[in-house]
A and B are shown apart, each in its own frame.
Chain A
Amino acid sequence: MGAQQRVFKAKINSTQSLRKIFKAMELIAASRIQKAIDRVHAASPYASALTRAVAAVATQSNVAHTLTVEPEEIRRAAVLVIGPDRGFAGAYSANLIRKGEELITLLRQKGKDIALFTVGGKAETYYTFRDREIRQAWTGFSESPTAEHAAEIGEALLADFHRPHEEGGVDEIYLVDTRFVSSVSQDPQYRRLLPLAVVDADEAHADRGHGAGAGHPAHDEVFPLYEFEPSAEAVLDALLPKYIDSRILTALLNSAASEQAARQQAMHTAVENADDLIKTYTRMANTARQAEITQEISEIVGGADALAASGADD
């Protein structure tokens, strides 16, 4: 076998083994998407119950709560970027980070300081590589976030929100995450989490409608006159942190589903590309083999001719 042929055979072999890896990753991601979607659905009754309750309390009682009141001056904004821990998901994390950068530029233009919070190794390394200060980073659960993780993040964000500006407190909190629209479409987005615009019931509803979890309550429904126990303030005090945690959990779960979907798509493309490469290399190897055969034949024919010619001379 000629040297050229051997080179192509080696390339075909290595592409084939890469293809196997891509295929396996595609199948794994595909099997995890459904699980991730199920988790988004499972969390949605809680989210819609809380959204309803918060909207009901806020529309009925004229309680001014720290979490809902717009501060006079916004000097520092917290940005929570929810990204993946691993790569191999195509443009998923690049799109997300671009969206985050868009938001950060926007906030900077308004003269606000930024306090960065990140979820997932990819988001963290993007900022540490660029020497940007991260206030807090969480890693290790981008693919399977739980309510405890969301509560932990919520607690950290709320602690900063309640702290005065001089001690590093923030005046508003933004979320950058990816909304899972379908297995072929994921939508990076940013939204403000705090201060809460409770009239947001519509938006929150739209969120759930678009996300994998569908909500039931109608937009324009009028809430009944609730009796609050022990008091409207106490109920709101207890509900708001839960509501924040639930929003964060929804964002985490949507991002996890998006990550798997993006990975499946990326790996699918990779498998197709590997197939193309294998085909190209096979063609080239065949050409090389043909060329070698042709050369051998012409050598034999040429040799025979030379022999015959020298015989005729005798």
Chain B
Amino acid sequence: MALNVTVVAADHAVWSGEASRVVAKTWDGDIGILTGHEPVMALVAGGEVRILTADGENIRARADGGFLSVENDRVTVVADQAELV
């Protein structure tokens, strides 16, 4: 089981693929998402979203002022401007 992650910006899809862990900073602090996480919709408080892919690779995406939704192991990171760093 892996997380199905999609990162989208306003005018294009940035990245999508399988991941084992997603860590993002929200208003209340860092939130870490593993498989089986409860459905969450959280505002991303600037900064990076860190994705550990299924292959063990680390991907960082900047997602300023966006939000993150989790359900059924599907993670969507949405931001006006998102890019991989």
Q: Hey, which bits of chain A sit against chain B, CB under 8 A?
A: 39, 42-43, 45-46, 49-50, 52-53, 56-57, 146-147, 150-151, 223-230, 234-235, 238-239, 242, 245-246, 249
Contact = CB atoms under 8 A, between A and B. Distances in A.
Closest 5 CB pairs of A and B: A147-B10, A229-B42, A224-B39, A42-B12, A45-B8
Contacts of A39: 11
B41 A43 contact: no
Interface of B: 6, 8-13, 26-28, 31, 38-43, 65, 67, 69, 71-72, 76, 78, 80-81
A226 B41 contact: yes
B9 A228 contact: no
Contact of B67 (A45, A53, A146, A246): A53
Contacts of A238: 43, 65, 67
Given A235-B41, A239-B67, A229 B31 contact: yes
Nearest to B9: A46
Nearest to A225: B39
A226 B69 contact: yes
19 contacts: A52-B69, A146-B11, A147-B11, A147-B80, A150-B10, A224-B72, A226-B40, A226-B41, A226-B71, A227-B39, A228-B41, A229-B27, A229-B31, A230-B27, A230-B42, A234-B43, A235-B67, A249-B10, A249-B11
Nearest to B6: A45
A50 B27 CA distance: 19
Nearest to B16: A45
B13 A45 contact: yes
B85 to A, nearest CB: 19
Contacts of A56: 41, 69
A159 B10 CA distance: 21
B26 A46 contact: no
B71 A230 contact: no
Contacts of B43: 229-230, 234-235, 238
Given A42-B12, A57-B41, A230 B67 contact: no
Contact of B10 (A223, A226, A245): A245
A164 to B, nearest CB: 28
Contact of B8 (A49, A223, A224, A245): A49
Contacts of A57: 41
A49 B40 contact: no
Contacts of A230: 26-28, 42-43
A229 B26 contact: yes
Nearest to A237: B43
Given A46-B78, A53-B76, A230-B42, 6 more contacts: A45-B13, A46-B13, A52-B69, A224-B39, A226-B71, A230-B26
Nearest to A57: B41
Contacts of A226: 39-41, 69, 71
Contacts of B28: 229-230
Given A46-B10, A224-B71, A239-B67, A229 B40 contact: yes
- Central interface residue in A39, A150, A227, A249, by most chain B CB within 10 Å: A227
Contacts of A245: 10, 80
A198 to B, nearest CB: 15
Given A235-B43, A238-B43, A42 B11 contact: yes
A42 B13 contact: yes
Contacts of A151: 80
